[in-house]
Amino acid sequence: MSGQENRTEYLKDAFKRRTLSTAKTVLEYHSKINIDETAPVIRSVGIICTIGPTSQKVEQLEALISAGMNIARMNFSHGTHEYHGSTIENVRAAAAKVYPHPIAIALDTKGPEIRTGMMKSGKDVTYKKGQALKISCNPAMREQCDENQQYLEYPSLCKSLKAGSKIFIADGMLILEVREVLNDDMLMAEVKCDATIGSRKNCNLPGAIIDLPAVSEKDRSDLLFGVEQKVDMVFASFIRKKEDIFDIRKVLGEEGKSIKIIAKVENHEGITNIDEIVEHSDGVMVARGDMGMEIPLEKVFLAQKLIISKCNKNKKPVICATQMLESMIKNPRPTRAEITDVGNAVTDGCDCVMLSGESANGAYPVEAVTYMHKICKEAFSAIHYEKRFQELTASSHSTDTAEIVALSAVSAAFKVSAAAIIVLTTSGRSATLLSHFCPNCPIIVITRSAPVARKLHVYRGLFPLEYPYARKGTWTEDIDARLDFGIKKGLDMGFILPSSKVIFVCGYQPGSSTTNTMRILSVEGDHHIGTPESNIVFK
């Protein structure tokens, strides 16, 4: 879409926002949605793509970035350090070629896990419904698995389970129910469904308290590699309690202290401890894959709403992940249910949505990102932003200057139908506060720090831009120069129009933690108007 087309569509967006904002209730707001209207120019939600064999090359990554990827995820459950190092290098090379915004890199840890042993025959084994199966945690049985006995790599197995406990193997393909705990390293189970499985399959023990360290030796090695590679964030698998986050932070050490820790909540224990996890992490991922093994499937959507709401209330970013467009691993179009799932995740309040196999090893990775981009843009129209703002501020009694300025800026943006909010930031905190209050216009973030700009992609509604110029003149002159840069970029992207209003947030003294000023400005004339440098989509 050209710059002029963007600006024309944005005029329609502004009119639509003003019309819908008159609705007094969410019900009335939804009743005024017009499905024939063009989707908004902006996409407020970030897109995370898992990088794998079908997307690792520079040209493939360029296509993903052009389609809308904001964060590249490296899954350290697979691949060597050499492989991931090469992928990270390719992501940075592609980002330098294509995108005017920084691309963040996330390291997803393998985390504590339980796996089965090796089949004695070297071949897959079939288990029949109703048969008895001995389960051992004795390492001597690791390579002795067959149709009558199975090994699970978890020393506390017989302490964690009791009669009636369920065991899910190979993503739930094989379901077992414990009949009797025979001794400290052996139990008897009944097979609940026919299944054929091979060696070294994953295992879930729903409802059990798992006595495994949060950081394995492999995780430790991977985290130190991530520090060396200067990754922007860690997606920490199977976080069950706050101490797990502390353990990961300890491994990252002083050199990795700026790396964001996003806690993946994947089991009942993590959901039970969600308050302390939200408090001590930098954000949370609703990891629905293993979660669907650990709690009843019909409760996963309730857990999603719970976790998203907790994060929204506590100013923490939240990611919704797993099987969002799963059918696109093989098919060029998503199912209607998948489209609805992505849209509902956005309206629930998530900051990012994530693709896994769809972008890592699927046949249509670019198409998957394109569909996700389109769905997220359409979901914008289903959110009553002013009602959400009222809910977020109903119990706000903060005396923090930056937070009060952010709240005032978003309130002003609603009142004057601002085209955008422009914020200057050193640490990124003022931008995250603006994101929390959920304005219905884009937040253009100007920072001189590339790492800060990259990390801000995990927050809803932010469009981070690295300001490439050194400070010139007085502090006030430098502020004006960065404001001009932000307006120019907003015009280029079609977010801002000549004669439109913008809200400007900054600090009027050097350094971080000094945000204390909010101004309402009119964009005069058309001397800022430019054309996009490339045909890309903007978050």
Question: 400-436: b or e for each residue (b if 16 or more CB lie within 10 Å)?
Answer: eebbbbbbebbbbbbeeebbbbbbbbbbbbbbbbbbb
Identify the active-site residue in 54, 87, 109, 322. 322
Annotated catalytic residue 471: no
DSSP 113: -
- Side-chain-side CA neighbours of 491 within 13 Å: the count stands at 21
- Sorted by sequence, the CB contacts under 8 Å of residue 218 that are 6+ apart come out as 76, 110
Rounded to 5°, the CA angle 26-420-403 comes to 75
DSSP H or E segment with residue 105: strand 104-108
Identify the active-site residue in 115, 200, 374, 488. 115
Pairing of strands 202-204, 186-191: unpaired
Cβ(32)–Cβ(519) below 8 Å:
no
Cβ(460)–Cβ(345) below 8 Å:
no
**CA dist., res. 439 & res. 514, Å (int):** 22
| The token pair that represents 377 in the structure block | 């843009």
- Sorted by sequence, the CB contacts under 8 Å of residue 444 that are 6+ apart come out as 420, 421, 422, 423, 463, 465, 486, 489, 490, 495
- Sorted by sequence, the CB contacts under 8 Å of residue 343 that are 6+ apart come out as 375, 376, 378, 379, 382
Residue type (1 letter), 434: L
**CA dist., res. 499 & res. 149, Å (int):** 75
Identify the active-site residue in 16, 43, 73, 240. 73
Identify the active-site residue in 264, 316, 388, 454. 264
**CA dist., res. 56 & res. 63, Å (int):** 11
Annotated catalytic residue 73: yes
Annotated catalytic residue 115: yes
Annotated catalytic residue 316: no
Q: Which of 519, 505, 513, 526 lies closest to 462, judged by CA?
A: 505
**CA dist., res. 4 & res. 464, Å (int):** 22
Question: Catalytic residue numbers?
Answer: 73, 115, 264, 322
